Amino acid sequence: MIVASRVSRFVLMTAALEGVSPSPAWAGAFLLEPGRWQVISTYRFSTSSSKYDGNGLRVAEKRYGKSEGASLIEYGFDRDITLLMSPSLRSVRAQGPPDTTGVNIGALDLGARWRIYREGPQTVSFQALTRVPARSDPLFMSENRAKTELRLGYGRSDLLFRGRDAFLDAGLVWAKRAEPWRDELRTEVTLGWQRWPGRLVLMQWFYSAYPGAPGESRMPQQLKIEGSTVSSLGAGWSLQVGTFVSRGGVSTRYERGSLIGLWRKF
């Protein structure tokens, strides 16, 4: 992905990094240079013992834990198209009675990102992803059904903050699933700041809403905030470490957790 020559090795391609949905939402406005590859493999662990009720208040809920490993594989097909593939593995532990556990291998998202407009440091792009249906443990049945996701993204790479390079990546997302909560609307904002040489600081905000969800008096929604650093290890490798937490919602889980990721660009 191209942000600017000084920060392109560290630019995040995961804006969503897990909204309300069980799997991370991989997205971004910038494109890779033709013939270049980027692989971002991330492991996330989250826990929850409460939820937001229909009035937006936090109430106790049975304990729930989730761990997930996923990879974003990107290839710069040409200057205006970047191809995307994202396989994932996840496990869930839910408190009973009876206690329930499940492991899933099978979710696979395929798609591409197209450049719509570019002028200097500004880029507007459109991204489309589709989920290949897969067999799975019953706990993951809904998320492994067919899914289509469309994203309109805007990126700007020439920002400065306290004299250091910074960038903005924002997106509007619509997703359609073959499950009761069929429609999802999502807003994603990523701010990146190269605070130290070879280290990028990322702050991200993800707001998700589910209009028309059956059986809900108010529209389910959630705001999640994530902070992380991406440090260069040399030879095209980088290490990401961070944390995330829910900061408000309606009829959704409260979650908090940590992440670690390994990036490779070549």
Which pLDDT tens digits describe the chain residue by residue (266 residues)? 323 333 333 332 222 223 333 333 344 899 999 999 999 999 999 999 999 999 999 999 989 898 989 999 999 999 999 999 998 888 888 887 777 777 766 678 999 999 999 999 999 999 999 988 766 666 666 666 778 999 999 999 999 988 899 999 999 999 998 777 889 999 999 999 998 889 999 999 999 999 988 888 899 999 999 999 999 999 999 999 999 999 999 999 999 999 999 999 99
Q: What is the pLDDT of residue 116?
A: 97
Beta carbons within 8 Å of 255's beta carbon, 6+ residues apart:
46, 47, 48, 224, 244, 245, 246
Does residue 220 have a cis peptide bond before it, meaning omega lies within 30 degrees of 0? no
Question: 58: which strand partners?
Answer: 52
Q: What is the pLDDT of residue 141?
A: 61
- Number of neighbours of residue 227 by Cβ within 10 angstroms: 12
CATH of the structural domain 8-261, one choice from 3.20.20.70, 2.40.128.130, 2.40.320.10, 2.60.40.1180? 2.40.128.130
Which one, of 46, 51, 52, 50, lies nearest residue 69 by Cα? 46
Give CA–CA dist 72/26, Å, rounded: 7
Q: What is the pLDDT of residue 90?
A: 80
pTM for the model? 0.84
Q: What is the pLDDT of residue 35?
A: 96
